[in-house]
Chain A
Amino acid sequence: MIHWLRVIPQITLLWVIYQSGNFLAKISHLPVPGNVLGMVLLFILLLTGVIPIAWVEDGADLLLKHLAFFFIPIAVGLMQWIGLFELSGVQLISAIFLGSSACILVMGTVSKIFAGIRSGKGGI
């Protein structure tokens, strides 16, 4: 059972951290979205022990469990783009396929080089 009395203040704290990230993005002029700075900020606060994990854990787990729900409304905006998929579906899939394959191959190669250096004989 979810303990709302614990979860609601925790989500409020996460919201305050998110807004602090937005504020930091604004004053620092960093070309980075505020929510990413919010995430980095929370990570630093947890590492330095300013915020103990128990203060946010249950609220965070609840939000992450249903993360998909919060972006489904954004995906529904696709309604306006159905024509694009009819027209350029093959191009879109090609770009996604080639980009992902390149990523996997480069990272696989890098990891082999690293393992080679560490073990001194190459290969894993």
Chain B
Amino acid sequence: MNLLLVFITIAVTIGAYLLSRFLSQRYPHPLVNVVFLSTAMIIAVFMVSGISISQYQPGQNMMTFFLGPATAALAIPLYRNRKILTENLISVVIGIVSGTTVNMATTVLVAKLLGLSKVTVISLAPKSVTVPIAVSISQFLDGDPSLTSVFVIATGILGTFLTPILLNLFKVTNPLARGIVYGTTAHGQGTATALAEGSVQGSMSGVAMGLAAIYTSFAAPFLVSRLLG
């Protein structure tokens, strides 16, 4: 293991992250996405300087170490919004279960019908779930974590455009309902958009994002194996 190379790859990652974060705060737009920008910058630097993905691995392992505790930390927003959750428990649960099930089933079936490979189809299944959990679900089902992370971000970007358009088209005006849909369809990126709409939408979206992640991790193994079988 070349220590200098590990140090350089980590420095490149931190640099790309800080620069992308600065750009996304300066030009706030769903397409100016921190993860997309950083990933593109890092891949460009590695390709130009001839660094391979296997040389990135040691640094990768060190940086993703915090993803585990960060996932546990997702319980905090859920706990802070527990009041809005318990007051609307039944509609929240039915909404998330129906939406998430239809989402996964449609995505997997369309991907399968369009002839995408098995690894790709599995990696698509948890696309509406927040990245750290989607990645674990993907690994668990023998999908590819890097593919899943990119599908999740793409879903988040698409969801932030699509959700308000479809909700307005179908005249869904209830702020609670709008919040649940944002969080279930477009995870953290949807929650940011929901917060911009209003605080009720934002809290509800945060709750939905956490619960949808938990439900998906229980439902995905069952659903994916049946749809692919």
Contact = CB atoms under 8 A, between A and B. Distances in A.
Interface of A: 11, 14-15, 17-19, 21-22, 31-36, 38-43, 46-47, 53, 56-57, 59-61, 63-64, 67-81, 84, 88, 91-112, 114-115, 124
A100 B168 CA distance: 16
B162 A100 contact: yes
A113 to B, nearest CB: 9
Interface string B50-76: 000100100110011011111111111
Given A77-B53, A114-B91, A11 B185 contact: no
16 contacts: A14-B69, A17-B69, A31-B221, A42-B73, A53-B76, A61-B73, A67-B131, A67-B132, A69-B14, A71-B35, A91-B111, A103-B184, A107-B184, A111-B95, A124-B172, A124-B173
Interface of B: 13-14, 16-17, 34-35, 38-39, 42-43, 46-47, 53, 56, 59-60, 63-64, 66-80, 82, 91, 94-95, 98-100, 102-104, 106-107, 110-111, 114-116, 120, 124, 127-128, 131-133, 135-137, 139-140, 144-147, 149-151, 153-155, 158-159, 162-163, 166-167, 170-174, 176-177, 180-181, 184-186, 188, 210, 213-214, 217-218, 221-222
B120 A36 contact: no
B180 A107 contact: yes
Contacts of A31: 140, 218, 221-222
Given A35-B133, A75-B146, A15 B68 contact: yes
B145 to A, nearest CB: 5
A21 B104 CA distance: 25
A39 B71 contact: yes
B98 A106 contact: yes
Contacts of B67: 35, 70-71
A110 B170 CA distance: 12
A104 B166 contact: yes
Contacts of B137: 33
From A19, A38, A92, A115, name the one whose CB has the most chain B CB atoms within 10 angstroms: A92
Main secondary structure, interface of B, reads helix
A70 B63 contact: yes
A43 B211 CA distance: 11
A98 B107 contact: yes
Contact of B34 (A68, A73, A93): A68
A58 to B, nearest CB: 10
Contacts of A70: 63-64, 66-67, 70, 132
Contact of B181 (A57, A60, A104): A104
Contacts of A38: 68, 71-72
Given A39-B74, A74-B60, A96-B151, A91 B116 contact: yes
B213 A36 contact: yes
Given A38-B72, A103-B103, A74 B17 contact: no
A58 B210 CA distance: 19
From A42, A46, A68, A108, name the one whose CB has the most chain B CB atoms within 10 angstroms: A108
B66 A112 contact: no
B187 to A, nearest CB: 11
B214 A111 contact: no
Contact of A43 (B69, B78, B218): B78
